[in-house]
Structure 1
Amino acid sequence: MKRTLFCIAISFITVLASGQKPVYYLMKGKALIEAGKAGEAAALLTGAIKDNQDASFYLWRAEAYLAKGDYSSAIDDFNSANKMTAASGEYGLARIYAIRNDAATAVYHLELSMRSPFRKSEKEIMTDPSFTLLENRPEWRQFWKKDWYSTPEKRVTEIEYSISTGNLAEAKNIFRSLSSSYPEDVITEYSSALISIAESKYADAVRTLTQILSENPGDIKCLRLLASAQEVSGNPAGASASYTSLINMNVADPELLLSRAGCYRKTGETEKAIDDIAEYLDFYPGSKKALSLAGKAASAAGDNIRALSYFSENVRLHPNDPECFIDRANSYFMSRSWEWAAKDYGMSLDLQPGNSEAWLNNGISLLNMGKTEDACYNFRKAFNLGNRNSTEYLSKYCIK
């Protein structure tokens, strides 16, 4: 086991030592900023900028400088990004001047951003804490008096909200009005995909989104929705390709790696899944969900030893989390290591006694160990918690 865990550590080092795609540095920088290590993020991105003269690197280094309170350096980087890709840094500049309580300059840059392809939604701006100091300023009120969003943009926001609150009927009513007035608008088509997904008509959503992307291949929001629709529709290969497209577009979101790893796991591409997870773990060391996914990927490939190494590491790092014990117990269960399975199911049940599936599997493990009386106790607990699969075992082994 120690040897296997050592191999896990080596795999993480290999990720660092090997040549990386540019997006790696963006993801790593983002993760460091989130971890409160803005100085390390700025240093990492400074090194990467030497070989990557792209606006996104300056934008993320600006975020690192902003996080550490170095506003002058952040302003320089946002301006550098503007020179490379027009208006790409305007929203960042608006945030900095808002934090400095310079309402006039903040609104000036925000208006430039709103007239560009990089403009944010009303929700994104209103929930951005950077603008808190401006909320009662006349410049801020004047900014919102202007009509920044088209009718289709306003309607799709309402549709998204209605779906998020479970009010599908209202979402469909808004969509009917939208499609009647703006039948050819791309936002109407996107809204159609949202409705299709909400109705579990995933094939319809995939067709609509694929058509949109054929004409607008750089639409990140649409590509994200397509990947999600492909995944829930049972097309992990298509979803992994969509996640790859997002990663290749330098979208600095490490969660894309885990999403793609989950798809690779379903398509049986275990090594690709493990590679993505190892990279994610470099960004977020000890991540419970990443280690769990790595173990499940290895288990699905029939490599229980490797799976157990990941699950054991998760138990070590998260000893009070019942799910970590269940993951390892399930792996022992699949390999018919009944005693070890029973121990881990027992630990999980100490932490989460309401898990009926764990009671059932613990009972099966104990039954295979010859402990029928203890097994029956577990089967009864599972039954009392609503697990009907326990009735077969109760009738066969526990009713005399």
Structure 2
Amino acid sequence: MILRYLYFIILLVLPGIVFSQSIPFKELQAFSEIKNGNYSEAIDSLNIILSKNPEPEVHLAKAEAFLKLDNFSEALEECKRIEKIRPFYSSELEFKIFLTLNDHEKANEALEENLKSKYKISLFDLLNNPEFSNNYNLGLDKTLLNLNFYSQTEKQLYQAERLIHQEKHNQALFIINEIISRNNNIAQAHYLKSRITYIEGDIQNSLQSINTAIELKKSEIKYLTHRLLINKELKKLDDALTDATKLIRLAPYEIDNYINKADLLFKTKQFDEAIELTNAILKILPDDPDVLYLSSKSFFMKNDYFEALKNINQALQIKSNIDFYELRGDIYMATNTFEYATRDYSMCLDIEAQNGTVYAKKGLARLKLGDKKGACSDWKKGKRYGSYDAISYLEKYCQ
């Protein structure tokens, strides 16, 4: 909920923000603390932000942090402040608080307020999100379904989403197509259809459906996130990068949006920009192994082997991963440290024994060490597992 509602604030705090200029470090740090469960630290940071920017989105984040600490009175005080600034904006959180407190009457009041507002909780979330599970204990699920807070179409969308969750895709698609045939302007129906066709491997039709959803609802974060995933799958990296930039504009305090953009900058060979962005992210997440790996790859492509090796070594201290070992092996190959390269490629093969690409690389490292017999042995295995480089090396060196 925090990150879903916080995207508006950046328009007030940092107008015209672009990546080449700045990143909202303090805000990202605060919301990263929340995601990592460091709620007291997050509240301290949010207090500083609120002293300069008393917006409801920030109050909402603070209220959620208090809730996570079971400090219900302070959480409700924050909700009162929000209500004065933006009516009903905190109604979902108030409902969650009263559910936690098992206060049936106030939970029901908060829920009714929410369902009459533009911040209405979706029926699927309301009946399936673990944060609302106390619905059933308090009997609010029966009250909810007996009242007309949700239209027939919304109830059908709930049924379809539940079927998707149960992996009953054909049944879900039948309902969604019926909704679309009745009204082609339901963005959520096109989004759910895109999800199903993506799961079924029909990526092009999935893209068509999500494009329709976004035409109908241009700033929906979950739609743009889904399209980014599809475009990455289709190797439409420039389009994915455009969506990543939009997501940062809409949700500037979601750190994963920055990581996605850095990855796409790397994939589009914008290595300087990728390095700049990963360096910024590492100021907030200094021990994130995947960001360290991405940074190392970017430095490697710029032939900055010292920085590349430093970052991949740090990543490997945190997480053992075949891609990490392979990258470090590549760095050692580039610096003529062939014995170390051989060791890292062997570590890769300990994790994935049928990796033809790594056998081809390991064979080349052994050849550089003067071990032609060992190299040819590795290349034979690489050929067996589909490596064209291994076949080429066999023809060149092992005849």
Tell me if TM exceeds 0.5: yes
Residue 180 of structure 2 is aligned to residue 176 of structure 1:
no
Decide whether the 8 Å contact of 1:196 with 1:204 is kept in 2.
no
The offset of 1:53, in angstroms, is 2.2
Distance change (3 Å), C-alpha of 1:119 and 1:309 = same
TM (norm. structure 2) is: 0.81
| % identical equivalent positions | 21
Give deviations 1:32-71, integer Å, cap 9, x for gaps.
1233321100000000011222211011111111122221
Give deviations 1:132-182, integer Å, cap 9, x for gaps.
444232344323433543344344455556667776654543333122212
The offset of 1:322, in angstroms, is 3.6
Decide whether the 8 Å contact of 1:362 with 1:375 is kept in 2.
yes
Give the partner amino acid of 1:247. I
Give the match for residue 69 of structure 1.
70
For these two proteins, the number of residue pairs brought into alignment is 376
Report the 3-state secondary structure (helix = DSSP H, G, I; strand = E; otherwise coil) of the residue aligned with 1:375.
helix
Give the match for residue 387 of structure 1.
386
The offset of 1:255, in angstroms, is 0.7
Give the match for residue 203 of structure 2.
200
Distance change (3 Å), C-alpha of 1:279 and 1:125 = farther
Report the 3-state secondary structure (helix = DSSP H, G, I; strand = E; otherwise coil) of the residue aligned with 1:50.
helix
Partners of 2:272 and 2:332 lie apart in 1 by 22
Matches within 5 A, 1:201-350: 201=204, 204-205=208-209, 207-212=211-216, 216-318=217-319, 320-333=320-333, 337-350=337-350
Give the partner amino acid of 1:178. I
Decide whether the 8 Å contact of 2:203 with 2:230 is kept in 1.
no
Decide whether the 8 Å contact of 1:268 with 1:301 is kept in 2.
no
Partners of 1:189 and 1:317 lie apart in 2 by 41
Tell me whether 32-41 or 295-304 shows the greater mean CA deviation: 295-304
Decide whether the 8 Å contact of 1:237 with 1:264 is kept in 2.
no
Give the match for residue 14 of structure 2.
none
Distance change (3 Å), C-alpha of 1:262 and 1:81 = same
Distance change (3 Å), C-alpha of 1:278 and 1:121 = farther
Decide whether the 8 Å contact of 1:325 with 1:345 is kept in 2.
yes
Report the 3-state secondary structure (helix = DSSP H, G, I; strand = E; otherwise coil) of the residue aligned with 1:367.
helix
The offset of 1:362, in angstroms, is 0.8
Distance change (3 Å), C-alpha of 1:199 and 1:348 = closer
Where structure 1 has 5 or more consecutive residues not aligned to the other structure, the ranges are 1-18
* Structural RMSD (CA): 3.2
Matches within 5 A, 1:60-99: 60-99=61-100
Give the match for residue 121 of structure 2.
120
Report the 3-state secondary structure (helix = DSSP H, G, I; strand = E; otherwise coil) of the residue aligned with 1:135.
helix
Partners of 2:197 and 2:159 lie apart in 1 by 16
Decide whether the 8 Å contact of 1:94 with 1:107 is kept in 2.
yes
Decide whether the 8 Å contact of 1:26 with 1:57 is kept in 2.
no
The offset of 1:131, in angstroms, is 3.5
Report the 3-state secondary structure (helix = DSSP H, G, I; strand = E; otherwise coil) of the residue aligned with 2:203.
coil
Report the 3-state secondary structure (helix = DSSP H, G, I; strand = E; otherwise coil) of the residue aligned with 1:119.
coil
Decide whether the 8 Å contact of 1:99 with 1:133 is kept in 2.
yes
Partners of 2:189 and 2:210 lie apart in 1 by 15
Residue 58 of structure 2 is aligned to residue 54 of structure 1:
no
Give the match for residue 370 of structure 2.
370
Give the partner amino acid of 1:150. S
Distance change (3 Å), C-alpha of 1:335 and 1:155 = farther
Where structure 2 has 5 or more consecutive residues not aligned to the other structure, the ranges are 1-20
Partners of 2:162 and 2:335 lie apart in 1 by 46
Report the 3-state secondary structure (helix = DSSP H, G, I; strand = E; otherwise coil) of the residue aligned with 2:219.
coil
Distance change (3 Å), C-alpha of 1:183 and 1:206 = closer
Distance change (3 Å), C-alpha of 1:175 and 1:302 = farther
Decide whether the 8 Å contact of 1:182 with 1:188 is kept in 2.
no
